[in-house]
Amino acid sequence: MNGPVPFLRIESLSKRFGALAAVEDLSLTIPRGDLLALLGPSGSGKTTTLRLLAGFETPDTGRILVDGEDVARLPPAARRFGMVFQHYALFPHLDVGENVAFGLESQGVAAPDRQRRVAEALEMVELSGLERRPVGALSGGQQQRVALARALAPAPRVLLLDEPLSNLDPSLRERTRRELRGLIQRIGITTILVTHEQEEAFDLADHVALLRKGRLEQLGTPEELYGAPRTPFVAGFIGRASALPVRLIAHEGSTAQVELPGGVVWRVERAAPLGGSGVLYVRPEGVRLAEPGSGVVSGEVSGRRFLGATALYTVALAGTRAGETLEVLGDAAAAKLGNRVGLQPLGRGIHLFDSEEVGR
């Protein structure tokens, strides 16, 4: 990640549980005030990474540097990290103010200062005046904000969020997501978010670290991961993409000519050398529907998902032995199930990888 000087740096972090490498040689840099999303499938190591940052687990190797200080082996309280848990972990027998004050009281903050900081934290999350409200009387979104206020009250250097929106209904989740993003931007606190939802990561984060099997696959902005995936896993995991085996015809400079089923040749960007065969990852917006015929990839519409003004079509390609399909966005009235159609590339949303890279 180029640009600002890193405030939080993870260097060669590893953690094993018996024979399982939960996190393996992970290195990340996060600028001050940045919101980084740890994204990945189940078992990718994102939750273990967050627990290592929080101090709930001790790394086998590696360092965690905050403003130059290595905190990897400090107890959680000494790190000055705030954390919002997935299930909020609010105390039902305490009211809102007492929940927010819990961490301050544990630190021995005097009562007058404690009351002031509770009021400031609740003001930040727009819950002023609810100090005496029972937490059980709050909505899910309000409980999430109480948990956030509790994490912010001790003035942490870094904020850790463990899937904080997963317990909310879809309609409330989207609104709370916008509120959370605005709050973090106003405060300017360095934040690490764990999520398994791409939409949430892309909506909230300045940068996204995509993990797989404990290793970093790619770190970049949401636009970089979507538009310039560095590995087949990133291309297939981020967004929607159809994988299609192809044969290399020629490779000049940053352009490769590849043969698709039916003998059709496409020109696609590929700077690195390519072997005799490859795999195209084609996004639905990377191709368009055309009349079937010579010079275009042909197939039959086998699926249609209505999206309003547009539709997402699944096209079963002709001349394939494994029954490959491509998805394509088109006008909602462009085709019907069973129609023969052609597909033409649009010069974007198509990513080519060597066959040997796939499945690593």
Q: How far apart are the first and last CA of the chain?
A: 24
Helix locations, 28-84, DSSP H: 46-54, 76-79
pLDDT tens string 193-241: 999 889 999 999 999 999 999 999 999 999 999 999 999 999 999 999 9
User: 53-82 burial, b for 16+ CB within 10 Å, e for fewer?
Assistant: bbbebebeebebbbeeeebbeeeeeebebb
* 6-228 and 240-357 in the same fold: no
User: Which residues have CB under 8 Å from 248's CB, separation 6+?
Assistant: 256, 257, 258, 259, 274, 275, 276, 277, 278
pTM: 0.89
For residue 262, pLDDT beyond 60: yes
Q: What is the DSSP letter of 58?
A: -
- What proportion of the chain, given as a percentage, has pLDDT over 70? 98
Give the residue extent of every domain in the chain. Answer: 6-228, 240-357
For residue 171, pLDDT beyond 80: no
> What is the reported pLDDT for 274?
79
CATH of domain 6-228: 3.40.50.300
> What is the reported pLDDT for 237?
95
Report the pLDDT averaged over residues 152-158.
91
CATH for the 240-357 domain, from 1.10.10.10, 3.40.50.620, 2.40.50.140, 2.10.69.10? 2.40.50.140
pLDDT tens string 111-138: 889 899 999 999 888 889 888 999 888 8
